[in-house]
Chain A
Amino acid sequence: MAENTNLDYQKKKNKEEMKQQVITFALMIVFTIIAFAMVLSDLDKLFVVPILFLLAVVQVIFQLYYFMHMSHKGHEMPAFMMYGGIFAAFLTLLGLTVLVWW
């Protein structure tokens, strides 16, 4: 019986989380539409590019923390290594964009 209530509680919790994830998905769709719309409009490039980049980063955070459950407990090590990877990735990108000749 105790296990059953526990299971019911789990199911309820999962359901609530699922609701959050649908909202996350909706936001991601909205962000994508904003990004495409901004490119199609004739806004200044210097204004659009940083916002495009910001929207991409927010989408990725949504993916990692909600869809891939990095916000859950027990993800300390995955998060640590992901950030390690992002750190190395950032340096790589910096090197290949700033320190090359054109």
Chain B
Amino acid sequence: MSSTTMTQKQGFAATLWDYLTTVDHKKIAVLYLIGGGFFFILGGLEALAIRIQLIQPNNDFVSNGFYNEIMTMHGTTMIFLAAMPLIFALMNAVVPLQIGARDVAFPFLNSLGFWLFAFGGILLNCSWFLGGAPDAGWTAYAPLSVVSPGHGVDFYVLGLQISGAGTLIAGINFLVTIINMRAPGMTYMRMPLFTWTTFVVSALILFAFPALTIGLFLLMFDRLFGSGFFDASLGGNSIIWEHLFWIFGHPEVYILILPAFGVFSEVIPTFSKKRLFGYTAMVFATVLIGFLGFMVWAHHMFTVGMGPAANSIFAVATMAIAVPTGIKIFNWLFTLWGGNIKINSAMLWSLGFIPSFTIGGMTGVMVATAPADYQYHDSYFVVAHFHYVIVGGVVFAIFAGLHYWWPKMFGKILNETLGKITFWTFFFGFHLTFMIQHFLGLMGMPRRYAVYLPNQELELGNVISTIGAFLMAFGAIVFVINIIVTTTKGEQVSGDPWNGRTLEWAIPNPVPHYNFKQLPLVRGLDALWIEKTEGRKELAPAEPLDDIHMPNPSILPFVMSLGLFIAGFGFIYQVDHPSWLIVLFIGMGITLGTMFIRSIKDDHGHHIHKEDLDEEAR
């Protein structure tokens, strides 16, 4: 009956089927980790190709057109298909455990969200083999993206549309989970910071992604159905794309960075053996960053010509975000201050994050200064800035989070030696790659160009940058080796290897698939730590032992997403020949058909009986 017992007994096919149909948030976290990790490697290879091309002036490692494809796909892959899913992996693995829930609010939709992301990502990358990838930059500005020949941008539009729908679903799921599924006593102001950031980020997803959805629809209509939204000869206006893209795009960077802040707010207190300094201020700052994040999108468009009034307003609003971010930086420092600090890999990533991200924040204020931005715009200075915040913030957080929660997800601690090698090579490689790019930008090197000319003093900087990129790649490879070594040779650890403070560490390893046999009673912030200070090892149960209701696994999310994947090809190729409309109808038919089946077939889930629970405990 239950799916976990099945996997233990059976072979590969059964395991595969189990993962295709799973609605368990812990297994979906693993799926997100695999998917996000795969695309992270892909995006990393694209980055290496970019850096090899730029190692010397007038290089011809790749052609100019191919360079455009690589550079577009690097950005798109890293943002949509690597960073977001890896963050969703951590959220899925941790948030239900942190709030004391047995699962998320919508397990079926959770699975659907993952499969939509996966098929969207695959569709986008199919373009490599089908006549060329998108080549209009990850921002796909019109009118370039409208007139770009071939089907590359069509794959961009359809791929992101499908994976974006998955993200929206995941956002709503986490919102409802955090509001409705908290354990007794887990008030809002007792929620761990990672849960808080997940909550705020989910709200940002809810309000930001619809703008992207519409933007992508308009671009799709222009490219595939002959409309004139961005076509000046029909009275269209390409600025609409820029607005819609950045109304989504700016909240998107906070969608990436806030969970990173959440991870560090968990790691730093645990390894400083102190409660988080200024918890209330941290929550307030998170909410404020989320709120302000919506009012600054036009700072990406200072050079569009919106006029001095608009530019000033957006410049001031942007700089205001430095205040809550500064509050956070100081709170982490004060948490460390006087703490009983233990330095391991997770902590190294967190400590490395603070100065790296602060540099990125500082250059952020620089580019937010509208008049100065006319100098920085579209130069390598901007490239350096956003890599400092996204790599120095988000990627560092993903590494820290994986080291920290690996024992919870897989029951083993990642190898410390290899972890430290990864950190030091990646950390130095990162600064080597991007610090110099600030200066390359100030010296006038424009971003997105496939070549630069000799004798403009750009050679040395680019060589240094490429060396750094290879160091980062080395670090990432060591991390992969680390995962393999840990999985094959690592030892199982207890459920609380770090002497943790929050609820997820109260669960034994391996985590039972119903998470909590009895829902715990939460008595304050750092729920587990409170019990520990009073000499107890676990939380008091909030309910008597009873039957546990769990959702049923289902293949429908996979089929639903597959239908959209097939329909995507129909949409793209119907411009070449109308017979492709058949593919479109088949794909949409599969998706709508599975939605219909889901609607009319009752799914009440199943119960685990308390007698079985007793047996398992024995």
Please report A residues at the B interface, Cβ cutoff 8 Å.
77, 81, 84-85, 87-88, 91-92, 95-96, 98-102
Flag if B298 contacts A99 (CB, 8 Å). yes
Known: A91-B295, A95-B297, A99-B310. A84 touches B203 (CB 8 A): yes
Flag if A96 contacts B240 (CB, 8 Å). yes
What are 25 residue pairs bridging A and B, where the CB atoms are less than 8 Å apart in the complex?
A77-B179, A81-B175, A84-B203, A84-B207, A88-B207, A88-B208, A88-B247, A91-B294, A91-B295, A92-B211, A95-B243, A95-B297, A95-B298, A96-B240, A96-B243, A98-B310, A99-B239, A99-B243, A99-B301, A99-B306, A100-B237, A100-B240, A101-B237, A101-B305, A102-B237
Please report B residues at the A interface, Cβ cutoff 8 Å.
175, 179, 203, 206-208, 211, 237, 239-240, 243-244, 247, 294-295, 297-298, 301, 305-306, 310
* A92 to B247 Cα, complex, angstroms: 7
* A15 to B384 Cα, complex, angstroms: 64
Q: In the complex, which residues of chain B have a beta carbon less than 8 angstroms from the beta carbon of A87?
A: 207, 294
* A85 to B301 Cα, complex, angstroms: 23
* A70 to B412 Cα, complex, angstroms: 48
Q: In the complex, which residues of chain B have a beta carbon less than 8 angstroms from the beta carbon of A84?
A: 203, 206-207
For residue A96, which residue of chain B has the nearest CB? Answer: B243
* A92 to B211 Cα, complex, angstroms: 8
Classify the secondary structure of A's interface with B: helix
For residue A99, which residue of chain B has the nearest CB? Answer: B306
Quote the shortest CB–CB distance from A99 to chain B (angstroms). Answer: 5
Flag if B239 contacts A101 (CB, 8 Å). yes
Flag if A85 contacts B207 (CB, 8 Å). yes
Q: In the complex, which residues of chain A have a beta carbon less than 8 angstroms from the beta carbon of B310?
A: 98-99
Q: In the complex, which residues of chain A have a beta carbon less than 8 angstroms from the beta carbon of B203?
A: 81, 84
Quote the shortest CB–CB distance from A74 to chain B (angstroms). Answer: 12
Quote the shortest CB–CB distance from A86 to chain B (angstroms). Answer: 10
For residue B307, which residue of chain A has the nearest CB? Answer: A99
Quote the shortest CB–CB distance from A6 to chain B (angstroms). Answer: 26
Query: Which A-B residue pairs are the 3 nearest by beta carbons?
Result: A88-B207, A100-B239, A95-B243
* A100 to B206 Cα, complex, angstroms: 25
* A87 to B290 Cα, complex, angstroms: 13
For residue B208, which residue of chain A has the nearest CB? Answer: A88
Quote the shortest CB–CB distance from A75 to chain B (angstroms). Answer: 13
Residue of B206, B207, B294 with most partner-chain A CB within 10 A: B207
18 new A-B contacts, CB < 8 A, other than A92-B211, A100-B243, A101-B237, are A77-B179, A81-B203, A84-B207, A85-B206, A87-B294, A92-B243, A92-B244, A92-B247, A95-B247, A95-B298, A96-B244, A98-B310, A99-B239, A99-B243, A99-B298, A99-B306, A100-B237, A100-B240
Flag if A81 contacts B305 (CB, 8 Å). no
Known: A77-B179, A99-B310. A91 touches B239 (CB 8 A): no
For residue B180, which residue of chain A has the nearest CB? Answer: A77
For residue A85, which residue of chain B has the nearest CB? Answer: B207
* A88 to B179 Cα, complex, angstroms: 21
Cβ-defined partner of B206 (8 Å) among A81, A92, A95: A81
Q: In the complex, which residues of chain B have a beta carbon less than 8 angstroms from the beta carbon of A102?
A: 237
* A92 to B295 Cα, complex, angstroms: 10
Q: In the complex, which residues of chain B have a beta carbon less than 8 angstroms from the beta carbon of A96?
A: 240, 243-244
For residue B306, which residue of chain A has the nearest CB? Answer: A99
Q: In the complex, which residues of chain A have a beta carbon less than 8 angstroms from the beta carbon of B211?
A: 88, 92
Q: In the complex, which residues of chain B have a beta carbon less than 8 angstroms from the beta carbon of A92?
A: 211, 243-244, 247
* A102 to B208 Cα, complex, angstroms: 25
Q: In the complex, which residues of chain B have a beta carbon less than 8 angstroms from the beta carbon of A99?
A: 239, 243, 298, 301, 306, 310
* A86 to B20 Cα, complex, angstroms: 38
Quote the shortest CB–CB distance from B378 to chain A (angstroms). Answer: 20
Q: In the complex, which residues of chain A have a beta carbon less than 8 angstroms from the beta carbon of B305?
A: 101
* A81 to B203 Cα, complex, angstroms: 8
For residue A102, which residue of chain B has the nearest CB? Answer: B237
Q: In the complex, which residues of chain A have a beta carbon less than 8 angstroms from the beta carbon of B240?
A: 96, 100
* A77 to B294 Cα, complex, angstroms: 20
For residue B175, which residue of chain A has the nearest CB? Answer: A81
Q: In the complex, which residues of chain A have a beta carbon less than 8 angstroms from the beta carbon of B239?
A: 99-101
For residue B211, which residue of chain A has the nearest CB? Answer: A92
Q: In the complex, which residues of chain B have a beta carbon less than 8 angstroms from the beta carbon of A98?
A: 310
For residue A87, which residue of chain B has the nearest CB? Answer: B294
Flag if B298 contacts A88 (CB, 8 Å). no
Quote the shortest CB–CB distance from A76 to chain B (angstroms). Answer: 10
* A30 to B239 Cα, complex, angstroms: 39
For residue B239, which residue of chain A has the nearest CB? Answer: A100
* A41 to B295 Cα, complex, angstroms: 39
* A19 to B237 Cα, complex, angstroms: 49
Flag if A88 contacts B297 (CB, 8 Å). no
Q: In the complex, which residues of chain A have a beta carbon less than 8 angstroms from the beta carbon of B237?
A: 100-102
* A84 to B287 Cα, complex, angstroms: 12
* A100 to B247 Cα, complex, angstroms: 14
* A98 to B175 Cα, complex, angstroms: 32
Q: In the complex, which residues of chain A have a beta carbon less than 8 angstroms from the beta carbon of B244?
A: 92, 96
Quote the shortest CB–CB distance from A102 to chain B (angstroms). Answer: 8
Quote the shortest CB–CB distance from B95 to chain A (angstroms). Answer: 17
For residue A101, which residue of chain B has the nearest CB? Answer: B239
Quote the shortest CB–CB distance from B311 to chain A (angstroms). Answer: 10
Quote the shortest CB–CB distance from A65 to chain B (angstroms). Answer: 21
Quote the shortest CB–CB distance from B200 to chain A (angstroms). Answer: 11
Residue of B179, B247, B305 with most partner-chain A CB within 10 A: B247
* A92 to B306 Cα, complex, angstroms: 15
Q: In the complex, which residues of chain B have a beta carbon less than 8 angstroms from the beta carbon of A95?
A: 243, 247, 297-298
* A90 to B240 Cα, complex, angstroms: 15
Q: In the complex, which residues of chain A have a beta carbon less than 8 angstroms from the beta carbon of B179?
A: 77
* A86 to B207 Cα, complex, angstroms: 9
